[in-house]
Structure 1
Amino acid sequence: MWLCRHESERPPETGQPWHLVLEPAASRLERLALLVDAWLKEHWQGRPKYAGILIGGRSERMGRPKHLLERAGRSWLECTIDVVRRWVDRVTLLGMAELPASARSLPVLADVPDRQGPLAGILAAQRWCPEAAWVIVACDLPYLTGEAIRWLLGQRAPGRWVVLPRLGQAGPVEPLLAVYEPQARVLLERVEAPSLVVGDAKVAVVEPPQQLWRSWIDVDTPDEVPR
């Protein structure tokens, strides 16, 4: 790109064509801003989208691994994989645990040793593929729908490093069905839990439509398991 100082000026010969030549005019800054905005969107939209499904939790209140619970003859993990895979470029499992046969071909990442809980899995994903936008999904969301994933991805925008849903203004943020862009790692490496990034200017807290709220409902005890 070349910014001309006067109307008769021409850019120097470089052997390659200039992408844009802007003559002095009142609208030049506006055109430049539009060009930069378009470039940012193109770069951001071309970023790979990966899903990381968190498994391997202790499931103490449930009494057994939640990702292996079954519904209609299929494990929750298999159901979750089926929901998310059409919206992303790759599905990865975060944590070490027993897997159903259909999931054993997927990449499995061990938790990073310097963090605890879900953050250990999220950072494992970001350190493994730092150039991807990660959709982090808990394994205990039996009401998860593709429409919720589609909506969540639709909240991404240039300048948003993290998209954290919140079910109503009084509810807590939901970091385990959320989006983490590559830049989010800068924030996550500084904290002990993913929800602690709230308050940073690069973190967007968004409220899903009420008809999608069930997708964020997790299950912790046998009494809560859908029949």
Structure 2
Amino acid sequence: MTTADNNAPLKGLVLCGGYSTRMQEDKSMIAYHGVPQWQYLTRLLQSVLEEVFISCRPEQAALFDYPQLITDNVPNGGPSAGILSAHRQQPDTAWLVLACDLPLITAQTPELLIRSRDPQQAATAFISPVNELPEPLIAIWEPAGLQALWQNVMIENKNCPRKTLLSASIKLLTHPFAAEQFNANTQEEKQEALRKR
């Protein structure tokens, strides 16, 4: 992999490659806003970025009526596989990453990330209101941060993007609308999100 300079172009990446085991239905297909969640998040990122990609497993590709797909092509699975597959395809790009399990998110969240972006850091990320740790799946990953993730996952077998952020120099933000960071991973959380949206 190559390491880019600090003026990397920024593109969007919607992570849809999970197995949704706890939800028991594909989280990227849930229609919290009248359209499948992958479509809602893609449109949301398209309102603030010129190029937006969907990350998914190869066997999912036919599910998405969308031209800009990046299918997982690195081992180990999990969200790291999606992020690193994008990095492998476009190593000089910074990625604004959104997980597909964010039913309450609005455009103000990526807008804040973009306004606050520090390309000199490995990443720009929000502090989780749940555990006060960096939130790796609502974040801007710079090429240097992605290179560190690549090293951790592919060489040291540490498949955790949050641990990469914890060991890197990053810009941390407190979200003024922290409810937008709510993750829906179970049927109970899905119903909670439907009540709140």
Structure 1 residues 203 and 115 mapped into 2: Cα distance closer, same or farther (>3 Å)?
farther
> Does residue 215 of the first structure (1) align with residue 180 of the second (2)?
yes
- TM-score w.r.t. structure 1 length? 0.72
For structure 2, the 5+ residue unaligned runs are: 153-158
> Does residue 59 of the first structure (1) align with residue 20 of the second (2)?
yes
Which residue matches 2:171?
204
Which residue matches 1:133?
94
Give how far 1:48 is off.
2.1
For structure 1, the 5+ residue unaligned runs are: 1-39
Q: Is the 8 A contact 2:122 2:168 kept in 1?
A: no
Q: Is the 8 A contact 1:55 1:93 kept in 2?
A: yes
In the TM superposition, what are the counterparts of 1:101-180 in structure 2 within 5 Å? 103-168=64-129, 170-180=131-141
| Matched residue SS, 1:165 | strand
Of 162-171 and 190-199, the range deviating more from structure 2:
162-171
Which residue matches 1:69?
30
Rounded to whole Å, the distance in 1 between the matches of 2:119 and 2:38 is 31
| Matched residue SS, 1:174 | strand
- TM-score w.r.t. structure 2 length? 0.82
Which residue matches 1:187?
148
Give how far 1:132 is off.
1.5
Count of aligned pairs between the two proteins: 180
Give how far 1:158 is off.
3.7
Structure 1 residues 182 and 105 mapped into 2: Cα distance closer, same or farther (>3 Å)?
same
Rounded to whole Å, the distance in 2 between the matches of 1:197 and 1:127 is 17
Give how far 1:98 is off.
5.8
- Write the letter of the residue equivalent to 1:207: T
In the TM superposition, what are the counterparts of 1:9-28 in structure 2 within 5 Å? none
Q: Is the 8 A contact 1:91 1:106 kept in 2?
A: no
Q: Is the 8 A contact 1:143 1:217 kept in 2?
A: yes
Rounded to whole Å, the distance in 2 between the matches of 1:85 and 1:111 is 22
Structure 1 residues 171 and 90 mapped into 2: Cα distance closer, same or farther (>3 Å)?
same
Rounded to whole Å, the distance in 2 between the matches of 1:167 and 1:72 is 24
| Matched residue SS, 1:71 | coil
Of 148-157 and 199-208, the range deviating more from structure 2:
199-208
C-alpha root-mean-square deviation of aligned residues, in Å? 2.2
Rounded to whole Å, the distance in 1 between the matches of 2:179 and 2:78 is 23
Q: Is the 8 A contact 2:123 2:145 kept in 1?
A: yes
Give how far 1:92 is off.
0.7
CA deviation map 1:168-223 (0-9, x unaligned): 595232111101112222211122211112344532232222xx212211101112
Which residue matches 1:83?
44
Greater Rg over alpha carbons, structure: 1
Which residue matches 2:155?
none
- Write the letter of the residue equivalent to 1:79: Y
Identity percentage over the alignment?
24
